[in-house]
Structure 1
Amino acid sequence: MEKDILVRGMAWGGKIRVFAVRTTRLVEELRQRHNMHPTATAALGRTATAGAIMGAMLKGKEKLTIQVKGDGPLGQIVVDANADGEVRGYVEHPDVHLASNAQGKLDVAGAVGRNGYIHVTKDIGMKEPYRGSIPIISGELAEDFTYYFATSEQTPSVVGLGVLVDRDGSLLHAGGFVVQLMPGVTDEEITRLEQAVAAMPPVTALLDQGETPDEILRFLVGDDVSLMDTLDIKFQCQCSADRVERTLISLGADDLQQIIEEDGQAEIVCHFCNEAYTFNRPQLEQLLAQAKSKMVQ
């Protein structure tokens, strides 16, 4: 399986900003870590792909969180991404799988729900993070993120997201693109872009044919594209034993004492990577001592 990469650049004399990404490895790792069924894989995979592209729009140590809160059986979808191409995510009910929709495809909209909100929180180093929210308009997610860019960021955009799952539930392909209109673009160029998008095969079909992210961009905007750079995309969770220990200490001495007396151990499972951190009685007693010393300070 080829490594996941994102390419970004400008086209048509700087009037269009373009991003394309392959996220097959990322989405397959998410599927395995969360033991997801196909429809859940498609929904989280599309959101994680959007997150990878939106992360690439950030700089330095900036990061963002996407929350998709629809009224479908999947429950909440959460994705974290940063400017370094690191992405993680989870879905509340990973075992959701629905019958195919009328087009014979995975019913992502039915699983996500057609009512609810998408919230995007960006930590860009300011005192307060940026927050943008939009109502879900289709539940298919690509249309929803298109609407997000237009309304929350005032940037007219075209978003394509695709996840192709094999018969056995494993991942075949995942990827996507974002094309954003910059000031100065003409009506004729907008029409040309609309026609290109309408004529373009699905992203997963292009990936299945062996096309690369930069070749996907050329399907959209032709050869008049200047690629700026590429970014490796990878699954990366920020959890660690140290962080979990600090979380347990922050519970306070009373709660830790109660856990020791009632259970004698504790297991903390990270939502994002499904990693389990287990603490036995002596370890908990050590954390309890640290919590008590903090109370004295």
Structure 2
Amino acid sequence: MEDYLVKALCYEGSIRAYAVCATNTISEAQKRHDTWSSSTAALGRTMVGALLLGATLKGEDKLTVKVQGNGPAGGIVVDSDGSGNTKGYIKNPHVSLTLNESGKIDVRGAVGTEGIFTVIKDLGLKETFSGQTPIVSGEIGEDFTYFMAVSEQIPSAIGLSVLVDTDESVKAAGGFMIQVMPGADEKTIDFIEQRLQEVPMISRLIDEGESPEGILERLLGKDEIEILEKMPVQFKCNCSKEKFGTAIIAVGLDEINAMIEEDHGAEAVCQFCGNKYQYSEDDLIELRDEAIKNTREN
């Protein structure tokens, strides 16, 4: 199934809903970072959550989600935007814990139950907007839900799910976000809460061929959904040799000289996607000349 996200209004606009299939997107991240099951699920859930939050932004606007827990997986950093693009990395990709009491991947054990959950929004203005909440669960979905309630003050139900196969590959990934708007009917909220209790694991549904639209129908009732938009989502990194060159210039002349004289070149590796960029001595001399020029101009 192709990866895409749907946005919907439900119950005469009193409920906003989003659902996404992101199997190929999370699979790409798993391959690039060689993540093991617990790390795959933790990173994947964070990426799915970031895609759902990103869908509330305009196309060029972007956000960063940071999950800094006390578990063995270490920090998770994910970028997303309003156009369905995401990228991310986890500090320790090689965490594979035994299954939890429910027979599921132990994401809480990998992430930890203490730490900070941060969302930084770049809306194209001079300053970014940042919100922080404590990690309340480590399961990621509950942490997104808590953040939305406390920092954004939007009551939400967020479900994030990644199904990892025995060979560490991603079988299915996706999720949903349901937001309650002011004036929502209590009967409607009770109905949705009941459906949330009954719905199977989202990644299982996706693995069986369920669509994002079908997921929303299961959660909200078929007759109450008005699909507003269908948007493709994908793993996409905007790194480049030029961008890393700018970063090399910023480290200063002493560092650049050391790269030229001692190492006779340099390699830059993107944390988000793993792409590698090689810089020859001649490349570095050009960057040094640019650094000298910048110093004189300033």
Same fold at TM > 0.5: yes
Residue matched to 2:258: 258
Q: Which runs of 5+ in 2 are unaligned?
A: none
CA distance in 1: counterparts of 2:78 and 2:151, whole angstroms: 18
Amino acid corresponding to residue 206 of structure 2 in structure 1: L
Q: Report SS of the residue matched to 1:296.
A: helix
Shift of 1:43: 0.4
Letter in 1 for 2:115: G
Does 1:275 find its partner at 2:275? yes
TM-score (norm 2): 0.97
Q: Which portions of structure 1, spanning 4 or more consecutive aligned residues, are displaced by more than 4 angstroms?
A: none
Aligned to 1:290: 290
Number of residue-to-residue matches in the alignment: 296
Distance 1:26 1:130 in 2: 26
Is 2:242 the counterpart of 1:242? yes
Q: Root-mean-square deviation (CA), in Å?
A: 0.9
Q: 2:214 — aligned with what? A: 215
Normalising by structure 1, what TM-score? 0.98
**2:229 is paired with a residue of what secondary structure?**
strand
Q: What is the Cα deviation at residue 126 of structure 1?
A: 2.5
TM-superposed deviation, 1:296:
2.1
Distance 1:219 1:200 in 2: 7
Residues 1:34 and 2:33 aligned together: yes
Q: Report the CA distance between 1:60 and its aligned residue.
A: 3.2
- Matching residue of 2:68: 69
1:74-85 map, 5 Å: 74-85=73-84
C-alpha distance in 2 between matches for 1:60 and 1:69? 27
**Paired residue secondary structure (1:7):** strand
CA-CA distance at 1:209 after TM superposition? 1.9
Could you tell me which residue of structure 2 aligns to residue 102 of structure 1? 101
> Is 2:21 the partner of 1:59?
no
Residue 152 of structure 2 aligns with which residue? 153
- Matches of 2:296 and 2:61, distance apart in 1: 36
**CA–CA distance in 1 between the matches of 2:42 and 2:197?**
22
Indicate yes or no: 2:23 matched with 1:9: no
Percent pairwise identity: 42
SS state of the match for residue 268, structure 1? strand
Secondary structure in 1 aligned to 2:138?
Answer: coil
Give the Cα–Cα distance (whole angstroms) in 2 for the partners of residues 262 and 105 of structure 1: 50
Partner of 1:143: 142
Shift of 1:186: 2.0
Q: Which residue of 1 aligns with 2:173?
A: 174
In structure 1, runs of 5+ residues without a counterpart are none
Deviation at 1:97, TM superposition (A): 1.1
Distance 2:64 2:203 in 1: 25
Deviation, structure 1 residue 127: 2.4
* Distance in structure 1 (CA, Å) of the matches to 2:96 and 2:133: 25
Report the 3-state secondary structure (helix = DSSP H, G, I; strand = E; otherwise coil) of the residue aligned with 1:271: coil
